[in-house]
Amino acid sequence: MNIHEYQAKRLFRDYGIAVPEGHQADTPEHAGQVARELGGSGWVVKAQVHAGGRGKAGGVRLAHSHQEVLDFSRDMLGKRLVTAQTDSAGLPVERLLIEKIYPIKSEFYLSALVDRVSSRILFIASAAGGMDIEAVARDTPERIISLQIHPAAGLQSYQCRKIAFALQLAGEQIKALETIMRGMYQLLLAKDASQIEINPLILTEQGQLLALDAKINFDDNAVAMHPDILDMRDPGQEDRKENKAQQYGLNYITLDGTIGCMVNGAGLAMATMDLVKLNGGAPANFLDVGGGTTPERVAEAFKLILSDGKVKAILINIFGGIVQCDIIARGILAAVKEVHVKVPVVVRLEGTNAEAGRQLLADSGLNLIAETDLATAAAQVVALAEAA
Ligand code: ADP
Ligand code: MG
């Protein structure tokens, strides 16, 4: 689960991580009022969306008068922001964060995350922080340093110093960095975050270290234990189809392609997507309907795929091990009765009660293309999507 920057910064404050002075606002007038209350002569207006890359997309703007705060807020609120990290539809901007402008001497990158490979918490830092960190990681990976935290020993002062030296900090700033790293470490553990990212962490002209940006991801499997975090959820920022799928216990992830996939089992779903790709197609989604599924769930899954306007053809690939193929067939028929299916559907049913399932589909009089061989089914669905 993701939260907004203004919420992440609230948590940062609770854990002693220094952040800019600022406040959130949901109308231009409110934004103007926040700027007046903050005082000073420069403010940054930041769109609150669950994605980075806002700076380059016009979602972070520096205002030098109250009028500009109002103008920029009017420009952003109520619109959708498209960044390099969103899809082409972008995300709705319903809230802004207004902060004082700080004179920046250096921009660093600092993050803490749960590393699955080493099963440790990892700190990652770079002196080359800011908006181009992806390019730094790609072109000059040696400029990025990482260190593992031993779970029994915890974060050690010498480790904080190691990062401080890599960032060429000195004196009081080294202690300030340690305070920030300790805050991140405690926050990560206490709230079951999977990643905390500060990009940029800035050194101001006055020598102050501040988290200018804040991004926290939480482990979905742990978030139920943290009602305070769950309260910060903003469904408006989440994929509507993925939310709906969650309600029905379906594992669904929206992708960019044109071929809707309905498969049972995550492994088979991955293999199906690979085969679609191998044949030159692109999946519109990942969908695992699960093992012990019901006709209702299959119907919901089918409706979910059809609600995606990009879908030009559907591939249903079911291997009946635990789930029975006739149950799947009944679910498909129930869904087709409710929604008008305009795209071709290729169905590959194999395993328990496959014969009965195929018979049900054949008897339905619907325009479904039955296949028994997966490779053929994948090639066929790609050809049908291309022809559409
Ligand atoms: P994103 O990562 O989504 O692009 P950031 O919060 O990192 O958004 O902001 C982008 C850039 O805007 C920062 O790298 C920084 O240069 C500038 N910026 C953001 N907040 C401030 C601020 N309070 N004062 C001065 N510059 C800022
Ligand atoms: Mg940033």
Query: How confident is the model over 218-250, as pLDDT tens digits?
Result: 999 999 999 999 999 999 999 888 888 888 888
Q: Identify the burial level of 328 via C-beta atoms within 10 angstroms of its C-beta, where 0-12 means exposed, 13-18 middle and 19 or more buried.
A: buried
Between CA 256 and CA 262, with CA 260 as vertex, the angle to 5 degrees is 130
CATH 3.30.1490.20 fits 21-101, yes or no: yes
| Stretch 208-225: mean pLDDT | 96
From the CA of 5, the nearest ligand is 1
| pLDDT tens, position by position, 124-139 | 999 998 878 888 888 9
Ligand nearest to the CA of 44: 1
Question: Would you state the pLDDT for residue 137?
Answer: 86
Q: Ligand 1 atom closest to Cα of 46?
A: 6
pLDDT of residue 339: 79
For 336, half-sphere exposure in the C-beta direction (CA atoms, 13 angstrom radius) is: 18
> Does pLDDT of 62 surpass 90?
yes
The predicted structure's pLDDT at residue 133: 84
SS3 97: strand
Confidence of residue 167 (pLDDT cuts 50, 70, 90): very high
Q: What is the number of the ligand 1 atom nearest to the C-alpha of 52?
A: 3
Does residue 290's CB lie within 6 angstroms of at least one atom of ligand 1?
A: no
Picking from 233, 198, 205, the residue whose alpha carbon sits closest to that of residue 218 is: 233
The rounded distance, in Å, linking the Cα atoms of 363 and 352 is: 19
pLDDT grade for 356, boundaries at 50, 70 and 90: very high
Residue 305 token pair: 């795929």
CATH class (in words) of the domain with range 239-387? alpha beta
Residue span(s) of the chain under CATH 3.30.470.20 come to: 1-20+102-237
Contact between 196 and 112 under an 8 Å Cβ cutoff? The reply is yes
CB 134 within 8 A of CB 146: no
Is CATH 3.30.70.1520 the classification given to domain 1-20+102-237?
Answer: no
Residue with CA nearest ligand 1 atom 19: 212
* Mean of pLDDT values over 11-31: 98
- DSSP annotation of 2 reads B
As a whole number, mean pLDDT of residues 203-213 equals 97
Question: Does 194 score more than 80 pLDDT?
Answer: yes
Name the residue at shortest CA distance from atom 12 of ligand 1. Answer: 55
* pLDDT greater at residue 108 or residue 294: 108
Residue type, 32: G
pLDDT band at 23 (very low <50, low <70, confident <90, very high): very high
Closest alpha carbon to 191 in 226, 150, 227: 226
Q: Can you tell me the distance from the alpha carbon of 213 to that of 386, in angstroms, rounded to the nearest whole number? A: 43
pLDDT over threshold 90, residue 324: no
Domain with CATH 3.30.1490.20 in the chain: 21-101
How many Å lie between the centroid of ligand 1 and the Cα of residue 102?
Answer: 10
Region 137-142: what's the mean pLDDT? Answer: 90
> Is pLDDT at 292 greater than 90 in this prediction?
no
pLDDT confidence tier of residue 108, bands split at 50, 70 and 90: very high
For residue 194, give the DSSP letter.
E
> In angstroms, how far is CA 146 from the centroid of its own chain?
23
The rounded percent of the chain whose pLDDT value lies above 90 is: 76
What positions carry a catalytic annotation? 109, 197
Q: Please, which residues have CB within 8 angstroms of residue 199's CB and are 6 or more apart in sequence?
A: 52, 109, 110, 111, 129, 130, 133, 213, 215
DSSP 152: T
Q: Where in the chain is the domain with CATH 3.40.50.261?
A: 239-387
Phi, psi angle pair for 283, to nearest 5°: -70, 140
> What's the confidence (pLDDT) of residue 244?
86
Q: Is 101 in the pocket of ligand 1 (CB under 6 A)?
A: yes
Alpha-carbon gap, residue 180 to 167, rounded angstroms:
14
Residue 242: per-residue pLDDT: 85
Give the whole-angstrom CA distance, residue 319 versus residue 235.
34
Q: Which residue has the higher pLDDT, 283 or 299?
A: 283
**Residue 198 burial (CB count, 10 A):** 27
Instruction: Convert the pLDDT of each residue in 253-286 to its tens digit.
Output: 989 899 999 998 899 999 999 999 999 999 999 9
